[in-house]
Copies of this chain bind each other. A is one copy, B any other.
Amino acid sequence: MNSFDFYNPTHIAFGEGKIADLNKLVPAEARVLVLFGGESARRTGTLDEVTTALGERQVTLFGGIEPNPSFETLMEAVAQVREQGVDYLLAVGGGSVIDGTKFVAAASVFEGDEWEILTQGGRNIERALPFGSVLTLPATGSEMNKGAVVTRKSLKAKLPFHSNHVFPAFSILDPTKTYTLPLRQVGNGVVDAFVHVVEQYLTYPAQAPVQDRFAEGLLQTLVEIGPQTLAEPENYQVRASMMWTATLALNGLIGSGVPQDWATHMLGHELTALHNLDHAQTLAIVLPAMLRERKAAKLDKLVQYGERVWNIRDGSAEDKAEAAIAKTEAFFESLGVKTRLSDYDLGEQHIEPLIASLESHGMVKLGEHGDVTPEVCRRVLQASL
């Protein structure tokens, strides 16, 4: 186990009806801006439920935060915060709305060019407005971590930032709020949570048995409940497990004290930035090929993963590793998330621009050993055609 610091002050309020707790979770005097995505928040009644729970507080709304939230849209929210003297933010939605709210929280009180929050990865954030979230889509873990990803459309750049100042003060997780989600988003959520765990687990043995067991427990649970949560949208218990699993997949816990990879995410971000694929689709495309490409370096953990998560018992280490990757690929497909570039009408001709974009963002030494170069990424993309 490596040395680490772990800190996560987000208060989780979990269960049916917890939106009513907003009245005690948000300060009584707060002037609140509620941020949300599309019209589903309004249509499903969640937005009404939220504003009712906020009672007499001054509440204004900002809708239209898109999937892969854009700097352009978020800066409109920043302007609204500044104009209206808002001092508390509330995100109602999934990872995109929460990520966007984190940016608005930091940018609203940032001195200087707000784009530099992204180009500096958040290191220059010195304060942020407090905010909470009401989660409606289990997937990204943003509801209980300090990271976010924002896309600047005009530059075709999708960049992450991190700061202790952007932990949500609280997040409300009510599984019933996921019942009306489109199945495509549900399947994407399972893949996203799964790959978050994999990025913190499938590296090399690091004498961290608890972190390994926790990661394997999350993956086993996703394998078990993934198909169920698609088949039975109103099964409360299954949706509850899905929601809590996705949160724990990326709240800093399982990654503490162990090496981390994230090459699949960084390459995936370029696919979204250039071709507007769903985040989880990019992960489903990149991960299997990335694992095959780096099978030798990851062999010990791939075998452990195969044995403990997929119950693979037969064959050589190499066989087990390949079987584990094939199982992963088949799992993504079974959730309705396609795993090939060609499934999304992308081909050979799209590879070089993706590599150029990766290089332009300085993503040239990725992975737990820093040896995932653009050349490696090119082979990965070729293998995922």
Contacts and interface: CB of A to CB of B under 8 A. Distances in A.
Contacts of A216: 213, 217
Contacts of A221: 209-210, 213
A11 B216 CA distance: 25
A49 to B, nearest CB: 16
A127 interface: no
Contacts of A207: 237, 240-241
Given A14-B257, A256-B14, A1 B217 contact: no
Interface string A81-124: 00000000000000000000000000000000000000000000
A252 to B, nearest CB: 10
Given A14-B257, A216-B217, A210 B6 contact: no
Interface of A: 1-18, 207-210, 212-214, 216-218, 220-221, 224-225, 237, 240-241, 244-245, 248, 253, 256-257
How many chain copies does the complex carry?
A: 2
Given A210-B244, A213-B217, A213-B221, A11 B15 contact: no
Nearest to A164: B11
Contacts of A225: 209
Nearest to A8: B8
18 contacts: A1-B241, A1-B244, A3-B14, A3-B18, A5-B12, A6-B11, A7-B10, A9-B9, A207-B240, A208-B241, A209-B220, A209-B221, A210-B218, A210-B248, A213-B213, A213-B220, A216-B217, A253-B253
